[in-house]
Structure 1
Amino acid sequence: MAFILPNLSPTILHTTKDKSSIASQASYLPSPPKPTSSLSPLTKLEPPPVRVAQLNQAPPGSQDKQQRDDFYVNLGLAVRTLREDMPLLFTRELNYDIYRDDITFVDPLNKFTGIENYKLIFWALRFHGRILFREISLEVFRVWQPSENVILIRWNLRGVPRVPWEAKGEFQGTSRYKLDRNGKIYEHKVDNLAFNFPRQLKPAVSVLDLVAACPPSPNPTFSWSPVDAYSSSWVEFYRAVRGTLDHEGSSFAQDCLVTCS
């Protein structure tokens, strides 16, 4: 063997090296693309209908989560709006975006339904408040939530009657607002009503007692009896607001809603 190797031609060795080099380089070259089968345009561009339906389906529970999110957003808006609107009740119009169109207003003697009646109530409070009182304002004592869908507000109404023989008084109450699943207010109930006057003048009495002491009359009157000598303007204020709702269809009420609000 030893004597054969030296006799190998350099040309043969060079050729062998070139072949091995070419083979090694060929291993690094990219493979040619594989032929693809011809597909119809429908198969290429449009997924199967079943697949489209699966992609468009909402994940389970997403609608409930969205509704809960909307509820808390509207709840926060309702609380902020009530905090801002209540103290300015007698100076400007309320923001009615937080209420449903079929909202119900309830107090110990009355019940009204509909956003138009609700707007009329607060217009009547402003209108008759300016007529019967030199000064009238509302102070919010507390705002809290006894449950998730209920907002409670404890307020105090102060007024100085225009009648000179009547003393300044305070009219307290609680407003309870109920919210639906979307966070919109659908009921406003006023209760725990009481007149609070200075002790040396008159003890606190229920608003129902005062209204019962002054039976309804078509004309505003002021009683001179000792029972309600310090409360007639408050009673007339309550009756005037109630009377406005009784005559909501009259031209007087509708004209005043436009010109006096």
Structure 2
Amino acid sequence: MPISERQTARETDYQAQIQQNIERIKRDLPPLFERDISYDIYTEDICFTDPINTFHGKLSYRIVYWSLRFHAQLFFTKIALDLHDVSQTEIEIAATQTKSACADWFITGVTNPDLWR
């Protein structure tokens, strides 16, 4: 197979994997306040950004979501996460826009298909 065909096949596989992960994020995030999300599709260099803070790394990403669930249970009797958009904003960037009862969060994650399962 010529190099250009292999590159096209790789790009097609990459885009298919991006779409699978976007669909998974769409399933994972809405019940965030009820249960933890799955972290196996995220790379170690993921970045969480909201209007006030930026956190780097998978452990920080897990802590952010744990903290959101913990504080939501402390301060709210009923809370939900509305997923407004998940999109591929750049070749290696997937951005998620969500809204809850208390704030708008913008979550940006760096994707790497070599680390996806």
Long gaps (5+) in structure 2: none
Larger radius of gyration: 1
Q: Which has the higher contact order (CA 8 A, sep 6+)?
A: 2
How far did residue 69 of structure 1 move? 3.3
Who is 2:14 aligned against? 71
Distance 1:117 1:144 in 2: 22
Distance 1:75 1:120 in 2: 24
The yes-or-no answer on 1:179 pairing with 2:93 is: no
Alignment of 1:22-101 (within 5 A): 59-61=2-4, 63-101=6-44
Q: Is the 1:72–1:183 Cα contact (8 Å) retained in structure 2?
A: no
Q: Structure 1 stretches (4+) deviating beyond 6 angstroms? A: none
Q: Tell me the TM-score normalized by structure 2.
A: 0.75
Who is 1:111 aligned against? 54
How far did residue 88 of structure 1 move? 0.7
Who is 2:76 aligned against? 133
Who is 2:66 aligned against? 123
Q: Tell me the TM-score normalized by structure 1.
A: 0.38
The number of equivalent residue pairs is 116
Flag the 1:70–1:86 CA change in 2: closer, same or farther, 3 A.
Answer: same
> CA-atom RMSD, angstroms?
2.8
- Sequence identity percentage: 26
Flag the 1:178–1:88 CA change in 2: closer, same or farther, 3 A.
Answer: same
